[in-house]
Structure 1
Amino acid sequence: MRIALLNPNSSQHITDRMLAEARRATGDTCEIFGLTNAAGPTVIRSRVDNAAAIDGLLNMARTLDADVEAVILGVSMDTALDALRQMLEVPVVGTTEAALATAGMLGGRIGLLTVGRALTPLYGELATSYGYAGRVAGIRGIETAAPYGAGLAQEVCAMMLDAVTSLSRDDGADVVVTVAAALCGYVPAIAAQADVPVLDGIACAAVQAEALARLRPRKASYGSFATPGR
């Protein structure tokens, strides 16, 4: 089984970290390879960045071989998810949609954890578009650029743990998921210390992509459907 992970930004080290997390989550059950949008923004931190990534993302999708059985959209904004689903014949899994769906199976109230505050309104819009508005307990963005580096930074672990604690104790979250590709690799370091279950969004997407590939569903029609806000 072959699964493609598409990164709409141009940071190869982020692609590498997403691949590592996706492979860790699925083990040896499938082959996951990654493509990086060389024409995209370095990272996606705004609506403008999100829009700028679309053309290159769609172009990457057009290059996929026929033996690819599912696609992971490696961006927490779920950029152009509906367009990709309409374009491709195989299941396409969005990171934040998968994170919300997985977390919803573990608890009633869901906390979202990302990097920076600028994108938190967009995650609220995404959650609403997926029908989770009433289940999002809160959204926290840790204020540091350290996660965008190539390696893992110890200071990020402490900030993430503080945010998870706040989401749990102050906002009532039963489970927390990361909705930032830059946070890949950090969850194992904090999960055992957290008050509630903490999941990595890319790991959720990878497991769901594998499950859909195994189910081999017929392609759903997207001709008359559009998710609000995307």
Structure 2
Amino acid sequence: MRFVLLNPNASVEMTARMCAVAREAIGPGHTLDGHHNPDGPAAIRSAADNALAVPGLLALGARHLHRCDAAILGVSMDTALGELRRQATIPVAGVTESAMLLGSQLGAPVGLITVGPDLVPLYRDLVRQYGLGSRLAGIIGIEAPGAYGGATDTSVADKLRDAVRTLHRAHGARVVVTVAAALCGYVNLRDTDVPLYDGIACAALQVLALARLRQASLSSAG
């Protein structure tokens, strides 16, 4: 099957990092192409950035969604997820929605980790909009500018480990998921109190399952 990852921001590097995680999750025998939004912000760190990304993202969807079996929306804010789904005839998975759905199946309540505290209230509202507020333990936005670099940063890993510990011990999380694209590549930590998963991987696994279900349904109908 063929998959696509759409990144609403302008970062080629972040797109490549997300695609690497998604390809590993999907496994061999499939293809996944990634596309960034050259007209979008460098990164989505505010509600204003989120809104700025929408026109270019929908244009990406119009160009690429009809060419594949399923799509990953590669942004933790699930930017314009509803609009993309209305635009598409294929499954589209958002990172935070997938993190909450799959994470809670593995052991609710779920803790979410992103980069920077400014978007935390928006994440909380997003989870409530999905009707999943009762499954949320808490959200932490770590101060980790090093996460936006090309290589993994040990200081980011330390802050991530501390955030997992806080979500478990102070908020009761039984599973923690990183939802920021900038945290791709940091989930293989040792000595975490509870399991830690990557939100991009969650979205990739969800679209793989949904694409297979859709394919089976189409075959049955034919």
TM-score, normalising length from structure 2?
0.95
Does the CA contact (< 8 Å) of 2:178 and 2:197 recur in 1?
yes
Per the alignment, residue 139 of structure 1 pairs with: 139
Aligned amino acid, residue 130 of structure 2 = Y
Task: Answer yes or no: is 1:40 the counterpart of 2:44.
Answer: no
Residue 205 of structure 2 aligns with an amino acid whose one-letter code is V
- Secondary structure class of the residue paired with 2:40: coil
Distance 1:180 1:108 in 2: 20
Q: For residues 200 and 75 of structure 2, what CA distance do their matches in structure 1 show? A: 9
Change (3 A) 1:108 1:66: closer
Asked whether the equivalents of residues 9 and 36 of structure 1 are also in contact (C-alpha less than 8 Å), the reply is: yes
1:172-187 mapped onto 2 (5 Å cutoff): 172-187=172-187
CA distance in 2, matches of 1:139, 1:64: 32
Q: How far apart, CA to CA, are the structure 2 residues paired with 1:161 and 1:176? A: 11
TM alignment of 1:60-71, pairs within 5 A = 60-64=60-64, 66-71=66-71
Q: Which amino acid aligns with 1:58?
A: L
**What one-letter code is carried by the residue in structure 2 that aligns with 1:94?**
G
CA deviations over 1:40-82 (Å, ceiling 9, x no partner): 0000000000000000000011111644000100000000000
Q: Quick check: 1:5–1:32 contact (8 Å CA) kept in 2?
A: yes
1:22 aligned partner: 22
Q: CA deviation at 1:145?
A: 0.9
SS of alignment partner, residue 114 of structure 2: strand
Code of the aligned partner of 1:210: L
The 5 A counterparts of 1:138-177 are: 138-177=138-177
In structure 1, the partner of 2:7 is 7
Identify the residue that residue 191 of structure 2 maps to in structure 1: 193
Question: Structure 1 vs Structure 2: percent identity of aligned residues?
Answer: 51
Q: Give me the TM-score of the superposition, normalised by structure 1.
A: 0.91
Q: Contact 2:100/2:135 (CA < 8 Å) preserved in 1? A: no
Counterpart residue identity of residue 214, structure 1: R
Instruction: Give the Cα–Cα distance (whole angstroms) in 2 for the partners of residues 173 and 34 of structure 1.
Output: 32
In 2, the alpha carbon distance for the partners of 1:4 and 1:187 equals 23
Please name the residue that 2:82 is paired with.
Answer: 82
Distance 2:12 2:169 in 1: 36
**How far off its partner does 1:29 sit?**
3.5
Q: How many residues align?
A: 217
Q: Deviations over 1:138-168 (max 9, x none)?
A: 1111112111112211111010000000100
Greater share of residues in helix: 2
Flag structure 2 segments of 5+ consecutive residues without an equivalent: none
What SS does structure 2 have at the residue aligned with 1:21?
Answer: helix
Residue of structure 2 aligned with 1:212, choices 204, 210, 213: 210
Deviant stretches of 4+, over 3 Å: none
Residue 194 of structure 1, CA deviation: 0.8
What is the RMSD of the two structures over their aligned residues, measured on CA atoms?
Answer: 1.4
Do 1:30 and 1:210's aligned partners in 2 also have CA atoms closer than 8 Å?
Answer: no
Unaligned stretches of 5+ residues in structure 1: 220-230
For each residue in 1:11-30, what CA deviation from the matched residue of structure 2 results, as whole angstroms up to 9, or x when unmatched? 10000000010011122141
Say if 1:92 and 1:209, in contact at 8 Å, map to a contact too.
yes
